[in-house]
Amino acid sequence: MTTVQNTLEDQFKAAMRQLATAVNIITTGQGSERRGLTASAVCSLTVTPPMVLICVNHFGEAHRAIVENGSFCVNVLHAEQRFLADMFAGQAGIAPADRFSHAQWSELESGAPALDGALVNIDCRIAERVQTSTHSVFFGAVEAIRFGQQHTPLLHFDRHYFSLAAASIA
């Protein structure tokens, strides 16, 4: 790889860190086969029918599990759930299957783990998958939505976590 490419890739990473994003845990599977990852690459896709997209690295255990299960749940975190974000990002040194023991989980329509107390759970079946060089883009057909209590959302910006202030800009 040339120096120009390295510089462009470094600039791209720095540019993407300037996008403030919601912090989510993407989950799939059941029992000892449950897997999950912390992700910010989540986006609404269509309203009719309700669909979202997620981007997941090919090399993680969660990718394989999502493909095998054909479903996933987007669990949108609030500010008090930062410890879960770190845990599912692999920063706490806890094995992937053991990460689920640190919170309460339910199942919605697809059977994927839905985090109790999340801001919202968006339960999906895979409608389509597009592979890129290092990631898959999963298009999820929404099967169920469960809202939690109102909290301040957990955000990620420039490699740090933040939460929103109570007031909004008019």
pLDDT attached to residue 3: 65
pLDDT attached to residue 17: 82
pLDDT attached to residue 156: 85
- Would you give per-residue pLDDT tens digits along the chain (170 residues)? 566 667 888 888 888 787 778 899 999 999 989 999 999 899 999 999 999 999 999 988 899 999 999 999 999 999 999 999 999 998 888 888 889 999 999 999 999 999 999 999 999 999 999 999 999 999 999 999 999 998 899 988 788 787 876 545 45
The answer to whether 22 and 87 are in contact (CB under 8 A) is no
pLDDT attached to residue 2: 60
For 139-164, letters b (16+ CB in 10 Å) and e give: bbbbbeebebeebebbbbeeeeeeee
pLDDT attached to residue 64: 95
Residue type for position 28: T
pLDDT attached to residue 159: 82
Of 73, 76, 80, 52, residue with least CA distance to 140 = 52
State both tokens at 162: 């933040």
Backbone angles phi, psi at 44, to 5 degrees: -70, 145
